Chains A and B, each alone.
Chain A
Amino acid sequence: MSSRFSGSAAAVTETALPARRLRRSLGSRLASGAAPYLLILPACAVIGAVLGYPLFFMGRLSLQHYGLFQLIRHKGEWIGTRNYSHILHDGLFWHVVFRTLAFTAAAVSLTMVAGTLFALLLAQLGSKMRLLLTAGLIFVWAMPVVVAVAVWSWMTDFEFGVGNWLLTELHIGNFNHHDWFANTWSGWAIITLLVVWGAIPFVALMVYAGLTQVPQELVEAATSDGANPWQVFRDVTLPLLKPIFVILTSLSIIWDFQVFNQIWILLSGQPPPQYFTMSIYAFTTSFQQSEYGLGSAIALVMVAILLVVSFVYIRQMVKIGDAE
């Protein structure tokens, strides 16, 4: 990296040191009064305006029976927690929860592992190959989701998919007229591949950026002490990269848990229940069954589950965020 960022490099080593200097300057800032509140005001105002009432309304909806009839008259029918008890006793709901968790776990692990491996590969390459691979990753990252799904749809098309043709020609099996989504496992494999493919570049590039910040002296010191590459990675690199991994994993969990577009568009807007994730289940309950109250309850339960699942990571992020 260039010398322009020696400041940033210094900042890296600063995290490893006690933050004495920070605390000293911080003391003089406690008296700054209104300034911080004014600074966060615009952002809070936007978020509050767009999400404040809708969230409140969604909470209210979850306690009502709100079908098409009620929607037209703008008046719901209060039924208390009946939506929630209906959800908790619904077999399909629990299947969907389990499926969403399983998919999230698989997608996040694959993304983080592959992304880190790609980053390590990038770090080892000569500059020309690195540029090529980086450019490739950026092209993938830049593709809008709608576009990416369209291409994958086309590649796995029942009649004309090039993926099907390739697999048949490579004698992996007969994939002519293969219905990828007839078998739930193969259908989910495609969906997971698509999601992971789209998510890898972001992780790879971020981790690579972090890798370049690992001071070479530390690596060389460890190597000369007799550590093998895996030990160097585990004992030197990983601890320094921990903040990045925490953030990337948290974000991946949050994003993969909410996956909607890929499944929806791949399955032509009519996914069968075996392909429901929680966000799809909430959406179809609201819009296809016109049960807006029940759909809102499902969405709120989804947020609650997500909070529980990502609690450990979120707590770490808040700690990091509040530390300085």
Chain B
Amino acid sequence: MKARIIAAVVLAAALATVASTATGSTKRASAQQVVVWVMTDAQNGWPGAIAAANAQFQQQHPGVDVNIQYQSWDTVLQKFDAALAANDAPDVIELGNSQTVKYMAAGAFSSLKAKNFPNSSTWLSGLKASCTYRGKLYCVPYYAGARAVIYRKDMYRQAGVKSVPKTYAQFLAANKKLKKKFGKNRNFSAFYEPGQNWYVATTFVEDWGGHIAVQEKNGKWKGTLDSPQAVKALTIFKSMVRKYSRASKTQDEAHPFPSIPFAKGRMASFIGNGWEWPYVFNPKGGAAPKSFEKKMGAYPMPSHIKGQYMPTFLGGSDLGIPISAKNKQLGADWIKAFTGTQSETLIAKAGNIANSTKLANVNAHNPSLAPFAKAAKYSWFVPMSPNWTNVENSHLLKQMLTAILTNRKSVQAATKSASKQITQILNASQ
């Protein structure tokens, strides 16, 4: 009996030692590796660009390991905050271009010199703006994305929609025909619009001249979703969604991802990014065969103003070097490799907009991806306030939309309380 206890204690101690040494042996000295946090988008969408960047980096630094740790949008900021608190930050981190201001204002990044990075003189001005704070550069533009309507060419044809809608009125007419033709299927949406997709709702607001918030002369922000233009736009948005979309009103554009219902024929169209394209016929989980791609097309969302498109949200990502990173120079060199022409071309070919105007025409001859580049001609962006990320994190815009679309609140009431909250959050002190 005694022997058994001793054996158990020894075993426990042995396991503990094994555990710590097993993990200890894989930890190299920090000079030997560069730690990079990028989103799983790169892992799934453009792994070739990552490979190219790594190859280029290894040529420059033969002994150094590139430790890429793919992150998820939902959780990366929590991990980043914890790492910053403990001075454990990675050497390179990808942030969304609507999140960078908060971190720049808090002093999370080291300042950089544009001339050290490739193609910096031709960086997209929108992305460059999201990397500049008080005149200094704190991150490097990575890529941008524009949204357009992705649709089923065959369904449009069958419903008698002869050409792609060029005005909002034509858009509504097309959807009416689609609903008439396919509406008997209880799962069908002519236009699949998840209720919490605030990017599209704000697109409507901007098209009718409204904004989420404006900065007044005294520097203070004011939420303006309750302005007459915004209210009008959201009322039109609501009626369109209720008529033509059977998508969930409590979920956003990523939960669930529209790719699977689209592949199952449950919709004729939805608004998405260029990089969402391959998810339809090649998502993990098996939805549609590759031949499905022949049925797909895209066109920029037409505006109610003749001759224009509805302004799309110019999303994108930037790459920064945290102020407490252990290998800042290595991080910078990796960013140079990843944002150079070769890598950026691969990123653009995956359905994105490259960070430099030099590469604007990479997708010009690709009929699937060209509409997305066209759509970027008219765009809007979020209020450039350090507290904007907190507004996004609170999901209050999404909840406002759900309240409106489920008739829980009137458009006036919902926008009024949302605007009040936005004003409060944006003006909170640092």
Interface status of B106 (Cβ within 8 A of chain A): yes
Partner of A72, one of B255, B323, B399: B323
Interface status of A216 (Cβ within 8 A of chain B): no
What separation, in Å, do the CA atoms of A194 and B251 have in the docked complex?
20
Q: Which residues in A have their C-beta under 8 angstroms from that of B323?
A: 72
Interface status of A287 (Cβ within 8 A of chain B): yes
Nearest CB of chain B from residue A15's CB, rounded to whole Å: 27
Q: Specify the chain A residue showing the minimal Cβ separation from B105.
A: A69
Contact, CB under 8 Å: B255 / A289: no
How many interface contacts (CB-CB < 8 Å) are there between A and B?
A: 79
Q: Which residues in A have their C-beta under 8 angstroms from that of B247?
A: 158
The digit string for B240-256, where 1 denotes a CB below 8 A from any CB of A, is: 00000011111110011
| Those of B98-127 within 8 Å (CB) of chain A | 102-103, 105-108
Q: Which residues in B have their C-beta under 8 angstroms from that of A289?
A: 390, 393-394
B-contacting 9-mer, from A2-10, A47-55, A265-273: A265-273
A-contacting 9-mer, from B70-78, B150-158, B222-230, B344-352: B70-78
> What would 14 A/B residue contacts be, using CB atoms closer than 8 Å?
A67-B106, A68-B84, A69-B105, A72-B108, A72-B324, A73-B107, A157-B256, A158-B247, A159-B256, A159-B260, A159-B261, A182-B406, A273-B399, A290-B102
Interface status of B147 (Cβ within 8 A of chain A): no
What separation, in Å, do the CA atoms of A74 and B84 have in the docked complex?
9
Q: A176-B187, A269-B75 are in contact. Are A71 and B390 (CB under 8 A)?
A: no
Q: A159-B260, A269-B74, A269-B75 are in contact. Are A69 and B248 (CB under 8 A)?
A: no
Contact, CB under 8 Å: A268 / B251: yes
Q: A176-B186, A176-B187, A272-B399 are in contact. Are A72 and B250 (CB under 8 A)?
A: no
**Residues in A lying within 8 Å of B, measured CB to CB:** 67-69, 71-74, 157-159, 176-177, 179, 181-182, 268-270, 272-273, 284, 287-290
Contact, CB under 8 Å: A288 / B393: yes
Nearest CB of chain A from residue B253's CB, rounded to whole Å: 12
Chain A interface main SS type? loop
| Those of B293-331 within 8 Å (CB) of chain A | 323-324
Contact, CB under 8 Å: A69 / B390: no
Q: Which residues in A have their C-beta under 8 angstroms from that of B398?
A: 270, 272
Partner of B84, one of A71, A268, A284, A287: A71
Contact, CB under 8 Å: B107 / A72: yes
Contact, CB under 8 Å: B390 / A74: no
Interface status of B85 (Cβ within 8 A of chain A): yes
Contact, CB under 8 Å: B390 / A288: yes
What separation, in Å, do the CA atoms of A31 and B103 have in the docked complex?
61
What separation, in Å, do the CA atoms of A211 and B252 have in the docked complex?
49
Q: Specify the chain B residue showing the minimal Cβ separation from A183.
A: B406
Q: Specify the chain B residue showing the minimal Cβ separation from A68.
A: B106
Q: Which residues in B have their C-beta under 8 angstroms from that of A69?
A: 105-107, 430
Q: A68-B102, A177-B246, A179-B248 are in contact. Are A290 and B81 (CB under 8 A)?
A: yes
Interface residues on B, range: 35 or more
Q: Which residues in A have their C-beta under 8 angstroms from that of B406?
A: 179, 182
Contact, CB under 8 Å: B390 / A290: yes
What separation, in Å, do the CA atoms of A186 and B324 have in the docked complex?
46
Interface status of B266 (Cβ within 8 A of chain A): yes
Interface status of B395 (Cβ within 8 A of chain A): yes
Chain B interface main SS type? loop
| Those of B251-273 within 8 Å (CB) of chain A | 251-252, 255-256, 260-261, 266
Beyond known contacts A71-B106, A182-B406, A270-B252: 4 more, CB 8 A cutoff: A69-B430, A177-B248, A179-B250, A287-B77
Contact, CB under 8 Å: A159 / B103: no
Interface status of B402 (Cβ within 8 A of chain A): yes
| Those of B164-195 within 8 Å (CB) of chain A | 186-187
Nearest CB of chain A from residue B387's CB, rounded to whole Å: 9
What separation, in Å, do the CA atoms of A71 and B86 have in the docked complex?
9
In this complex, which of A157, A270, A287 has the most chain B Cβ atoms within 10 angstroms of its Cβ? A270
Nearest CB of chain B from residue A27's CB, rounded to whole Å: 28
Q: Which residues in B have their C-beta under 8 angstroms from that of A158?
A: 247-248, 251, 256
Nearest CB of chain A from residue B246's CB, rounded to whole Å: 5
Question: Nearest 10 pairs between A and B by C-beta?
Answer: A288-B393, A68-B106, A268-B255, A158-B248, A69-B106, A272-B399, A269-B74, A287-B78, A270-B395, A181-B250
Q: Which residues in B have their C-beta under 8 angstroms from that of A177?
A: 186-187, 246, 248
In this complex, which of B260, B390, B406 has the most chain A Cβ atoms within 10 angstroms of its Cβ? B390
Q: Which residues in A have their C-beta under 8 angstroms from that of B255?
A: 268
Nearest CB of chain A from residue B9's CB, rounded to whole Å: 11
Nearest CB of chain A from residue B398's CB, rounded to whole Å: 7
What separation, in Å, do the CA atoms of A177 and B246 have in the docked complex?
7
Nearest CB of chain A from residue B95's CB, rounded to whole Å: 13
In this complex, which of A68, A73, A74, A289 has the most chain B Cβ atoms within 10 angstroms of its Cβ? A68
Q: Which residues in B have their C-beta under 8 angstroms from that of A157?
A: 256
Contact, CB under 8 Å: A182 / B81: no
What separation, in Å, do the CA atoms of A181 and B355 have in the docked complex?
39
| Those of B65-99 within 8 Å (CB) of chain A | 74-75, 77-78, 81, 84-85
| Those of B377-399 within 8 Å (CB) of chain A | 390, 393-395, 398-399
What separation, in Å, do the CA atoms of A157 and B257 have in the docked complex?
12
Q: Which residues in A have their C-beta under 8 angstroms from that of B249?
A: 179, 182
In this complex, which of B102, B248, B255, B266 has the most chain A Cβ atoms within 10 angstroms of its Cβ? B248
What separation, in Å, do the CA atoms of A207 and B85 have in the docked complex?
45
What separation, in Å, do the CA atoms of A157 and B261 have in the docked complex?
12
The digit string for B202-225, where 1 denotes a CB below 8 A from any CB of A, is: 000000000000000000000000
Contact, CB under 8 Å: B81 / A71: yes
Partner of A67, one of B74, B75, B186, B430: B430
What separation, in Å, do the CA atoms of A157 and B75 have in the docked complex?
22
What separation, in Å, do the CA atoms of A137 and B291 have in the docked complex?
46
Contact, CB under 8 Å: A68 / B81: yes
What separation, in Å, do the CA atoms of A181 and B430 have in the docked complex?
34
Contact, CB under 8 Å: B250 / A74: no
What separation, in Å, do the CA atoms of A176 and B256 have in the docked complex?
16
Contact, CB under 8 Å: A72 / B84: yes
Q: Specify the chain A residue showing the minimal Cβ separation from B258.
A: A159
Q: Specify the chain B residue showing the minimal Cβ separation from A274.
A: B399
What separation, in Å, do the CA atoms of A240 and B210 have in the docked complex?
69
